Structure 1
Amino acid sequence: MASFLQQTVKALKSSYPWTTTPLIVGAPMRIISGPALAVAISSAGGLGFIGPGAQPTDLEPALLEAKAMLSESSLPPPSPSGVLPIGVGFQTWAGDLTVASSAIKTCKPAAAWLFAPRHGQPELDTWTRALRAASPRTQIWIQVASVADALAAAHSAAPPDVLALQGADAGGHSLTQGAGLTTLVPEAFDALAAAGAGPAASLPLIAAGGILDGRGVGAALVLGASGAAMGTRFLGAREARIAAGYRRHVLTASDGGQSTVRTQLYNHLRGTMDWPAGFDARGLANRSWWDNVAGVPFERNRELHEEARKLGDAAWGPEGRMATYAGTGVGLVREVMGAGEIVGEVREGARRAVGGLKGGLEGV
């Protein structure tokens, strides 16, 4: 495994030369991961992703905004034929491939992260081909939450450049039925390695879901990942596009295995009824959730949700009604920091964790 890790880490470094090992990735949270957050993460030696936004047409303006920010950052500017040192994310079931391809062609981000197809791997293959045609140097990342989906992506007609393995502790949307990273990553690693030569055997794996600090990143590397993605931790980043009430709920939450729930309720309350089958989302329990458990009729719950929208930041919290998507590690988000500070702290923590583990076992 050590030689594979070295190989894939070198491959990632070659593809993203501004990054520092271990690779820390900012997950493409739909609205929260905007240009400022992505640029700050990449400027600190990570790889920041812009989320898909509220509408497909939000992407190109966000990329152009990021491009302007990059001209003032510490990152070297891309050459005329080069790529922007940030990525973009898509929920393919809700995306517009024509709009996405146009934005990718115009702005050439370093990576495109694909997630949540309605029609499985064939849909991801269609997106992969189209985005590669639009920008051949933009690498394709595919997010999966099962060994079967990892193998399907790796053996597909249009395999990705990177696989993001999302464990069940993740906040936001994922497969309803999933496994934690401690089993998902090593089983996927072994299954892909057993494929022998070819793309499946050399795909870098990025672990996501339940990683909040250097200890989590160190664990992901030991399990077989080549880097780690974080979403919930960056809810505490100053650059995140997040309501003050949402952030306050995150900062005051703890014991995420008990305080978060998996449900489609929060989607349905805001009128999003058409997520693909097999998906739900993890968020902090609030009054909407507890009323649902108590048997309050959905229509009444939705009326109360709409009334809460008018309350501003008071609409979030344990007694609020607006969704606060967060993973089970939410109790490790304790303060607001700059995204660059978070990347640096987590990276150094990972190095200490791995080094300390090695030192602690030697001679025992």
Structure 2
Amino acid sequence: MASNIGRLAARELQRTYPWISPPFIVGAPMRVISGPKLAVAISGAGGLGFIGPGAKPADLDDSLSQTPSLLESLPQSSPTLAHLDRYVILPIGVGFQTWAGDLETTARIMRAHPPPAAAWLFAPRHGQKELDEWSVGIRAATDSKTKIWIQIASVAEAKAAAASKERPDVLVVQGADAGGHSRTKGAGLMTLLPEIADELKKDSNLPQIPLVAAGGIIDARGVVAGTVLGAAASAMGTRFLAANEANINPGYVQHVLDATDGGQSTVRTQLYNHLRGTMDWPAEYDARGLANASWRDHEAGVSFELLQERHAEAAKKGVKGWGEAEGRMATYSGTGVGLVRERMGAAEIVEQIRKDVRRVLDEANTAVYE
């Protein structure tokens, strides 16, 4: 049921990342939550885990330093271990919010370590020009061993990336159901991904860029849907919030596990950024997170100064700083949050999805053809 374009792109990614097992599951680079433990666990299960950009650019050095020993500690059954001697790259990716990044620092750090398999670029302040600068810098620092992934949320962005002389190796197509930061205006994955796929097919002189589906994918049903729409892989962030290896406060996790009806319980806003002092995100971006006491007070007209005071007090409460009723700390998550029902290891999540995909496909084929 997968599109032909998606199948061809999936084979290309299999050649690029020889340890992956179908369906190709990608762990999104959530800023401080996706550390090397989470990334290695996902890659160790036959996916591709990404390390987040961290609190500051220099954090990448520590993350890449930890990665080799984490790889060596993978179970002997890991498909990744079987391929470690066949390439000179780290089988994980790294993510960057380019508007807040430091390309010079990034390039210096990447030259000091084995190159990661992929660099996921997102949120430029100056559009494709900025993404091109980062692509040039990373490719130069890694002798082009690190493949460039660019996250987009519109047909226009896809066309600009495809036409660039620094054409990316992969496009991550993020639908509007995604948690965390994304474009304030956007379409759901159901329409966005096939329109982008169709648009890119129009230029027969260019090789097809593999597309990764992102935004609202939580389980095997979402993975199958993304594949049918033309994706070669599926990226997940919200589901991995409840992975044992995530660098996350237990209160944050509990808020995610307690949440239901994500279309109603999440909100899109810059408020949570501003409360923690991040005021300079590019204007065309905001973030999706679960509503909490901070949000309700904001809606009721409480002054920002008082909201900041209450937020600062909540930050001292540890686990109790999060939650729907009294929590005030940001719980970034997508609309699929109601499908996240238990905490488990990242490898277990990947393996469960892989197991369930066959069942979902069988049920879909039966429903269509019986």
Bin for the TM-score computed over the shorter chain: over 0.9
Query: Is 1:268 matched up with 2:274?
Result: yes
- Name the TM-score, length of structure 2 as normaliser: 0.95
Shift of 1:351: 2.5
Alignment length, in residue pairs? Answer: 361
2-structure distance, mates of 1:355, 1:124: 41
Q: 1:20 to 1:140 in 2, by over 3 A?
A: same
Moved more, 329-338 or 349-358: 349-358
Pairing 1:14-25 to 2, within 5 Å after superposition: 14-25=15-26
> How far apart, in 2, do the equivalents of 1:79 and 1:126 lie?
32
- 2:283 is the alignment partner of 1:282: no
3-state SS of 1:262 partner: strand
1:33 paired residue number: 34
Partner of 1:60: 61
In structure 1, which of residues 150, 158, 162 is the aligned counterpart of residue 158 of structure 2?
150
**Alpha-carbon contact 2:226-2:234 (below 8 Å) kept:** yes
Instruction: Indicate the residue corresponding to 1:238 in structure 2.
Output: 244
- The aligned amino acid for 2:167 is P
Matches within 5 A, 1:195-214: 195-199=203-207, 202-214=208-220
| C-alpha deviation, 1:307, in angstroms | 1.2
1:354 is matched with: 361
Corresponding residue for residue 194 of structure 1: 202
- Please state whether the residue corresponding to 1:107 is helix, strand or coil: coil
Residue 230 of structure 1 and its aligned partner are, at CA, apart by: 0.2
Shift, 1:86, TM fit: 0.5
Please tell me whether the aligned partners of residues 175 and 192 of structure 2 are also in contact (alpha carbons under 8 angstroms): yes
2:316 aligned residue: 310
Q: Is the 8 A contact 1:170 1:327 kept in 2?
A: yes
| Contact 2:3–2:227 under 8 Å retained in 1 | no
**2:62 is equivalent to residue 72 of structure 1:** no
The residue aligned with 1:167 is 175
CA contact (8 A) 2:221 2:357 kept: yes
Match of 2:97 in 1: 91
Whether 1:5 and 2:12 are equivalent positions in the alignment is no
What is the CA distance between 1:280 and its match in structure 2? 0.1
What is the CA distance between 1:99 and its match in structure 2? 1.3
Partners of 2:27 and 2:50 within 8 A in 1:
yes
Say if 1:216 and 1:350, in contact at 8 Å, map to a contact too: no
The 2-side partners of 1:352 and 1:139 are apart by 33
**Cα separation, 1, equivalents of 2:192 and 2:351:** 27
SS in 1 for 2:289: strand
Q: Alpha-carbon deviation of 1:4?
A: 1.8
Q: Match of 1:207, SS?
A: strand
In the alignment, the residues of structure 2 paired with residue 172 and residue 4 of structure 1 have an alpha-carbon distance, to the nearest angstrom, of: 29
TM-score in terms of structure 1 length: 0.97
5+ residue gaps, structure 1: none
Which residue is equivalent to 1:42? Answer: 43
Cα deviation, 1:330-360, whole Å, max 9, x if unaligned, reads 0011011110010011122222222321233
Per the alignment, residue 132 of structure 2 pairs with: 125
- CA change 1:313–1:221 in 2 (3 A) is same
2:232 aligns with one of 211, 226, 244: 226
Instruction: Give 2:181's aligned amino acid.
Output: H
Structure 2 unaligned residues grouped into runs of 5+: none
Assess if the C-alpha contact under 8 Å between 2:3 and 2:229 holds in 1. no
Equivalents in 1 of 2:217, 2:45: separation in Å? 18
Counterparts of 1:235 and 1:245 in 2: how far apart (Å)?
Answer: 11
Q: CA deviation at 1:21?
A: 0.8
Aligned-residue sequence identity (percent) comes to: 60
Distance in 2 between the 1:99 and 1:107 partners? 16
After superposition, what is the alpha-carbon deviation per residue over 1:44-63, rounded to whole angstroms, capped at 9, x for unaligned?
A: 01000000100100001101
Alpha-carbon distance change, 81 to 227 in structure 1, aligned in 2, over 3 angstroms: closer
Matched, 1:108 2:115: yes
Aligned to 1:217: 223
Question: Aligned AA for 1:219?
Answer: A
The amino acid across from 2:238 in the alignment is T
- Please provide the CA RMSD for this pair: 1.3
Question: What's the counterpart of residue 145 of structure 2?
Answer: 137
Query: What is the identity, as a one-letter code, of the residue corresponding to 2:206?
Result: G
> 1:184 is matched with which residue?
192
Q: Secondary structure at the match of 2:58?
A: helix
After superposition, give the CA deviation of every residue in 1:225-267 in whole Å (9 maximum; x if it has no partner): 1110000000110000000110010000000000000000000
Equivalent position SS for 1:31: coil
Cα pair 1:64 1:107 within 8 Å, conserved: no
